[in-house]
Amino acid sequence: MKPAMWKSAIAINLLKPLCQRKLWLNRIGQGIAIPHAKCDCVDKLVAAFGLSKKGVDFDSLDGELAYIFFLLVAPQDSAGPHLKALARISRLLKDKYFRDTLRTCMDEKSVIKIITQEDEKKI
């Protein structure tokens, strides 16, 4: 699962079909939000990554703003990959050093490098 920088065009294209569907939101706290949904607009699991320098109020459990976002959209008939991806992302984000390093990323290449390195350590 290669992450993509969450540019406005990507976010709009992924979120537009979800506006009329149920969107679940894992408001984990610690500056993290993982919105996810099932939708017939995709035929395989799609993931997007986003950073906010200012933070976004996602009504998190700890009251903190969210800075790190992973958006997951899975096909309607998919359960396994969707849940595995959620678990995998959650496991990666438990590491404070990893979260802090992600927040300092300035471009897509550094995000992909950091996520790939961390993911390889957790396998």
Q: Of the residues 36, 68, 74, 98, which is catalytic? A: 36
Q: Is 82 a catalytic residue?
A: no
Which two tokens mark 36?
């996810």
Distance CA(114)–CA(118), nearest Å, equals 6
Catalytic positions: 36
